[in-house]
């Protein structure tokens, strides 16, 4: 094992796959000369040259469309958005072309493309730069949605995403790029659609994904001091979702808390809640509790932002609620 930052794991995954397959290229704003807005493509221009590591204008709709077209013609593009907030400018290409071309062409074209970049909040970036769109993309048939929470998963899942023959939305976080973690020395991949049991427990299941799962970790550590045992499931892939892993855990603990950094109406936590109550309702000993942001745009004020975003205290309160403590 070796220790890598999250950004280094991303760069390694892309570089290893580009060495393996010449049809893969990286395109986006500042990915080349600047080594990436978050240094997640550091050194790649020097190794692969400007034909495969391509700086673009500020034109998400344009370079998303170029990526989709080239994927239909045999390439495997990696399209980087400086943030998925900016992907809204190019979302027509993602939803109406990338996600639908296999069906609309009767299987004549597939679209092996990865759209990657940071999602959700990252400090005082205010309302238009602090949005989580996982549930938006997961709602669209034809897209796979991946949200890793650590360097090991980031590398293994990104390699699988690049090799996938369908479009994959790969969502990171500005606040995770500096995170360090152990990563295997050799070649490895992590299959899409398989959750990770991040922590085993017996009293309550906590399901989460992405950077917000760290709050679940903090809560579980605190609750352990009170002899409350939490099982934490990291979804890793939002779609396809590993529902069976959730069901298996809830059958053991009989209680479920879902933690997600997203607006509360119609999100990933909502779908998990529905799947559990409709498939294994009789195993529940308490109503499911889901924890989300406030139902407002993200505030700029640090005091308001702290109240807006879920934290470990919210998780502790939810766990005690389902345990009737």
Q: What is the pLDDT of residue 147?
A: 98
Q: What is the mean pLDDT of the chain?
A: 98
Please tell me the predicted confidence (pLDDT) of residue 194. 98
27 falls within a domain: yes
CATH number at residue 150: 3.40.50.970
Kindly state the average pLDDT of the residues 167-176.
97
Q: What's the Cα-to-Cα distance from 126 to each of 57, 86, 92, 297, rounded to whole Å? A: 24, 14, 24, 8
Full residue range of the structural domain in which residue 262 is found: 196-323
- Both 236 and 142 in one domain: the answer is no
Give how many domains the chain has, as a whole number: 2
Q: What are the pLDDT digits (tens) for 37-89?
A: 999 999 999 999 999 999 999 999 999 999 999 999 999 999 999 999 999 99
Q: Where are the beta strands (DSSP E) in 98-203?
A: 114-118, 144-146, 168-172, 180-183, 196-199
Question: 176-227: per-residue pLDDT in tens?
Answer: 999 999 999 999 999 999 999 999 999 999 999 999 999 999 999 999 999 9
pLDDT of residue 7: 98
204 and 246 assigned to the same domain: yes
- Whether 178 and 202 map to the same domain: the answer is no
**Judgement on whether residues 178 and 204 belong to the same structural domain of the protein:** no
What share of the chain has pLDDT > 90, as a percent? 100
Task: Note whether 115 and 218 are same-domain residues.
Answer: no
166 and 278 share one domain: no
Q: What is the pLDDT of residue 203?
A: 98
d(CA 237, CA 138): 10
Residue 132 — very low, low, confident or very high, per pLDDT cuts 50/70/90? very high
Which CATH number do you get for residue 306? 3.40.50.920
User: pLDDT digit string (tens) for 251-273?
Assistant: 999 999 999 999 999 999 999 99
Residues 175 and 222 in one domain: no
Q: List, by residue number, the catalytic residues.
A: 60, 129
CB 166 within 8 A of CB 142: yes
pLDDT of residue 323: 98
Give the whole-angstrom CA distance, residue 286 versus residue 276: 12
Q: Is 80 exposed, middle or buried (0-12, 13-18, 19+ CB in 10 A)?
A: buried
**What is residue 324's predicted lDDT score, i.e. its pLDDT?**
98
Distance between CA atoms of residues 81 and 79, nearest Å = 7
Q: Please, where are the H alpha helices in the chain? A: 6-20, 44-48, 60-72, 91-92, 101-104, 134-138, 151-163, 213-224, 243-253, 268-279, 302-308, 312-322
């Amino acid at each position: 094992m070796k220790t890598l930052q999250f950004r280094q794991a991303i760069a390694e995954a892309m570089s290893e796959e580009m060495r393996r397959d010449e049809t893969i290229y990286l395109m986006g704003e500042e990915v080349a000369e600047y080594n990436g807005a978050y240094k997640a493509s550091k050194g790649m221009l020097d190794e692969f040259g400007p034909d495969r590591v391509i700086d673009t204008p500020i034109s998400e709709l344009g370079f998303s469309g170029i990526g989709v077209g080239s994927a239909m013609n045999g390439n495997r593009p990696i399209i980087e958005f400086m943030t998925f907030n900016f992907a809204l400018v190019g979302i027509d290409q993602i939803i109406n072309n990338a996600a639908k071309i296999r069906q609309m062409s009767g299987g004549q074209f597939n679209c092996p493309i990865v759209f990657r970049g940071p999602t959700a909040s990252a400090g005082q970036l205010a309302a238009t730069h602090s949005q989580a769109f996982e549930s938006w993309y997961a709602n669209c048939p034809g897209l796979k949605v991946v949200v890793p929470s650590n360097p090991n998963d980031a590398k293994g899942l990104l390699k699988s995403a690049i090799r996938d023959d369908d479009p994959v939305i790969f969502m990171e976080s500005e606040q995770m790029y500096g995170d360090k973690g152990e990563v295997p020395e050799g070649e490895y991949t992590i299959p899409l659609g398989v959750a990770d049991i991040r922590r085993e427990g017996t009293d309550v299941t906590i399901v989460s994904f992405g950077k917000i799962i760290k709050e679940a970790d903090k809560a579980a550590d605190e609750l352990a001091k009170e002899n409350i045992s939490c099982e934490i499931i990291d979804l890793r892939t939002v779609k396809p979702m590993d529902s069976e892993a959730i069901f298996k855990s809830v059958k053991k603990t009989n209680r479920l808390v879902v933690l997600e950094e997203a607006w509360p109406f119609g999100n990933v936590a909502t779908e998990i809640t529905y799947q559990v109550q409709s498939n294994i309702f009789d195993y529940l000993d308490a109503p499911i509790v889901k924890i989300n942001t406030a139902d407002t745009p993200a505030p700029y004020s640090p005091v308001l932002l702290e109240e807006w975003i879920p934290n470990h205290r919210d998780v502790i309160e939810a766990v005690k609620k389902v345990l009737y403590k």
